[in-house]
Amino acid sequence: MTYPDERPEWVYRDDCGSYSQFRWSLRCKNDRDIVQLVVKHNTCLNSLFMQPYCTNCQMRETWHQPCTTPEDVFFALAIQPTDICNDAIQPLVQHSYSVNSVTISAYLAHMPRAKYSVTKSLKNNDRTRKKMLELKAKIKARVYELNLKADAEAAKSMHQQEQIAYDSLQSINVTDPITLLTLGSMATDMSELLNTCELIAELK
């Protein structure tokens, strides 16, 4: 999905949230929530899976420094019946990935609660609000940075696979016509693969 701040469908909920949790609503025509999207900024202390604490988290009592290995997890909460939610969210989804059951249960265990009414924020002063928006912007920057890194890794591994395929093509000793025939079709596959890669690169 595109980051919720970039899509007009997601309404940022400045009436709720905290320093570590931000929320957007996907609404229907009569302004009722269909799906709520929540991002939770987890430090080592409350990460989805147990991990060794970073130095800042180990020393949090004395240093009061932010976690250096946080995770930002997005949750989509169904407010309306499932079929309505699915229809509303489907156009916003670009790719879906399957995850294992361990990840699913960790995800469900950390699921935040849905907010059914507009809440009056207790921390309503300007300073708090400003600080919250700064943290929200930091999460966004981090998500973008991680996505760029993941894209670069994927491109690198694709390039390596191409190189391996190319090297193995080079190392085959071509003597008989059947090998030549096979090589011919492999070469076509390779150029198709390369074209597909370029196409993907263009789309991005």
Kindly state whether residue 57 participates in binding Zn ion, applying the rule CB under 5 A.
yes
Contact letters for Zn ion, residues 8-47 (x by CB under 5 A): -----------------------------------xx---
Give me the least distance between CB of 68 and Zn ion, in Å please. 6
- Region from 15-23, 50-58, 132-140, 141-149 binding Zn ion, contact rule CB under 5 A: 50-58
Contact (CB, 8 A) for 101 and 51? no
Cβ-in-10-Å burial (0-12, 13-18, 19+) of 81 comes to exposed
How many angstroms separate the CA atoms of 12 and 4, rounded? 8
Within residues 66-95, the interface with Zn ion by CB under 5 A covers 67
Q: How far is CA 9 from CA 41, 86, 147, in A?
A: 22, 14, 22
Q: Which is nearer to Zn ion, 26 or 57 (CB)?
A: 57
Contact (CB, 8 A) for 19 and 36? no
Give me the least distance between CB of 66 and Zn ion, in Å please. 8
* Measured distance between the N- and C-terminal CA atoms of the chain, rounded to whole angstroms: 13
Give me the least distance between CB of 139 and Zn ion, in Å please. 15
Q: How many residues bind Zn ion (CB under 5 A)?
A: 5
Binding site for Zn ion (CB under 5 A): 43-44, 54, 57, 67
